[in-house]
Structure 1
Amino acid sequence: MGRSIYCVVTAAGSGTRLGNPEPKALVKLAGSPLLHHALRALEPLQGLAGVVITAPQDYLETFAQVAQGAALSYPWKVIAGGTTRQNSVYQGLQGLLSFDRGAGQVTADDPEAIVLIHDAARALTPLQQFQRVCAAVASGCPAVVPATELVDTVREVAGESFTRQEVEITPAGATPDRAHLRCVQTPQGFAGNVIFAAHQQGHEEDQAGDGALDDAMLVARLGYQQYFVAGSRQALKITYPLDLQLATWLAQNPNRE
């Protein structure tokens, strides 16, 4: 591919829904923190020039210790994330800009750089998924999102919920054609100049940083087309205890694509 790849790994989220008082990225999966698995998954990616990990302010040293323990061959740094995911990614991108040039510094107007935004909670994302995203960006796609087909039928909500006999009930609306719907995952990949411009605009428009659900939505606001590549069931987002149980089984029984 021949192009430098950079990655922001967002890991500043809480572990509340997993029943853990510490940040989610420190929750153990098969004996190691989720962050360890997420960082090791990037290790074989050719062309990786630098990784920024966003962490809660009070856990910067702990996260650095996890990264050191992962014995990574690529340059990395840990910085404080923001109060929202969008703000954390913005801070992560600024961290990429401040890498020493010897570590492969990227510039905000570089159209040749490939920038990945990845979620540490998708700790078991297979290498092939990173490669597919990078290949699509390298082919000229400005914004690339891995996605999977929906398994369940999806219904819209037609009104506010109410309670009857202690049961919460919600009116159902239309049924979208799931053939035209996808579940999106990470890493999302972008041409460097595109993602920096998108997050700069998002940061300026909304200092709270809560105006977009993901990075591709910010890019779409600039008028760029988004593209899908195949995602993987293995790249599940570990949010609830049942997710962690499934991820533990997957880690102990590797699924090769």
Structure 2
Amino acid sequence: MGRSIYCVVTAAGSGTRLGNPGPKALVELAGECLLHHALRTLEPLEGLAGVVITAPRDYLETFTQVAQDASLSYPWKVVAGGSTRQNSVYLGLQGLLSFDRGARQVCANDPEAIVLIHDAARALTPLEQFQRVCRAVASGCPAVVPATELVDTVREVAGESFTRQEVAITPAGATPDRSRLRCVQTPQGFAGNVIFAAHQQGREETNTTGGALDDAMLVAHLGYPQYFVAGSRRAMKITYPLDLHLATWMAQNSNRE
């Protein structure tokens, strides 16, 4: 591919919904924490010039130890995340700029750089998904999102919820065409200059600061088109205990989806 690849791994979120009082990234999955799995997956990615891990401020030493124990061959660093995911990614992007670049590497905010934003909670994302995203960015797509098709019918809600005989009820609205909807995943990939500009503007504008659900939304706010590539069921976001049980099964059956 020949392009310098940088990655921000967001790992500053809490594990409350998993029943864990600490950071979600430290929850154990098949003998190793989620962060360990996420970092090891990146190991074979060709052209990887640097990875920044965003961590809760009180856990910087713990996250550093996890990365050290993973014996990673690529450059990495741990930085403190912010109060929101958007702020954490911004801080992670700033951390990418301080990597010592070799003669063949460009800076992370260069148009020729590929910048990936990945969620450590998607710990089992296969290497092939990273590669698909990188190839699409290298082909000229400024913003690339891996996505999967919906398997359930989706309904909009109409009006406000109310109660009837102590049962909460919400009226149903429209039924969107499922064929036009996708579930988005990570890593999301971007041309370096595009994602840096998007986060800088998102930080400056009060109507977007802290509010973007993912990074591609900030890029779209700048007017850049987004492109989808195939996602993977293995890239599920581990949020609830049932997710963790399923991910454990997948980790123990790595050749199956």
Q: Give the TM-score of the pair, scaled to structure 2.
A: 0.96
Alpha-carbon offset, residue 255 of structure 1: 2.9
Alpha-carbon offset, residue 168 of structure 1: 1.3
Tell me whether 38-47 or 208-217 shows the greater mean CA deviation.
208-217
CA shift digits 1:50-81 (9 cap, x unpaired):
00000000000000000011110000000000
- Unpaired runs of 5+ in structure 2? none
Report the equivalent of 1:40: 40
Question: 1:84, 1:209 within 8 Å by CA — same for their partners in 2?
Answer: no
Alpha-carbon offset, residue 102 of structure 1: 4.8
Structure 1 residues 1-257: aligned runs within 5 Å: 1-102=1-102, 106-108=107-109, 110-206=110-206, 209-255=209-255
Alpha-carbon offset, residue 206 of structure 1: 3.1
Question: 2:41, 2:127 within 8 Å by CA — same for their partners in 1?
Answer: yes
Percent identity, aligned pairs only, is 86
Alpha-carbon offset, residue 100 of structure 1: 2.5
Question: 2:42, 2:127 within 8 Å by CA — same for their partners in 1?
Answer: yes
> Does the residue aligned with 2:83 lie in a helix, a strand or coil?
coil
Question: 2:106, 2:113 within 8 Å by CA — same for their partners in 1?
Answer: no
> Does the residue aligned with 2:152 lie in a helix, a strand or coil?
coil
CA shift digits 1:165-197 (9 cap, x unpaired):
222111100000000000000000000000000
> Does the residue aligned with 1:101 lie in a helix, a strand or coil?
coil
CA shift digits 1:125-146 (9 cap, x unpaired):
0010000000000000000000
Q: Which amino acid aligns with 1:224?
A: Y
Question: 1:234, 1:255 within 8 Å by CA — same for their partners in 2?
Answer: no
Q: Which amino acid aligns with 2:107?
A: V
Summarize the Cα distance change of 1:69–1:207 in structure 2 as closer, same or farther, 3 Å threshold: farther
Q: Which amino acid aligns with 2:129?
A: Q
Q: Which amino acid aligns with 1:73?
A: S
Alpha-carbon offset, residue 163 of structure 1: 1.7
Could you tell me how far apart the structure 1 residues matched to 2:106 and 2:170 are? 51
Question: 2:108, 2:114 within 8 Å by CA — same for their partners in 1?
Answer: no
> Does the residue aligned with 1:53 lie in a helix, a strand or coil?
strand
Q: Give the TM-score of the pair, scaled to structure 1.
A: 0.96
Aligned residue pair count: 256
Could you tell me how far apart the structure 1 residues matched to 2:10 and 2:208 are? 17
> Does the residue aligned with 1:209 lie in a helix, a strand or coil?
coil
Alpha-carbon offset, residue 210 of structure 1: 1.6
> Does the residue aligned with 2:13 lie in a helix, a strand or coil?
coil
Question: 1:5, 1:49 within 8 Å by CA — same for their partners in 2?
Answer: yes
Summarize the Cα distance change of 1:118–1:17 in structure 2 as closer, same or farther, 3 Å threshold: same
CA shift digits 1:109-136 (9 cap, x unpaired):
x110000000000000001000000000
Q: CA RMSD in A?
A: 1.5
Tell me whether 41-50 or 160-169 shows the greater mean CA deviation.
160-169
Could you tell me how far apart the structure 2 residues matched to 1:97 and 1:171 are? 49
Tell me whether 58-67 or 206-215 shows the greater mean CA deviation.
206-215
Could you tell me how far apart the structure 2 residues matched to 1:173 and 1:139 are? 40
> Does the residue aligned with 2:156 lie in a helix, a strand or coil?
coil
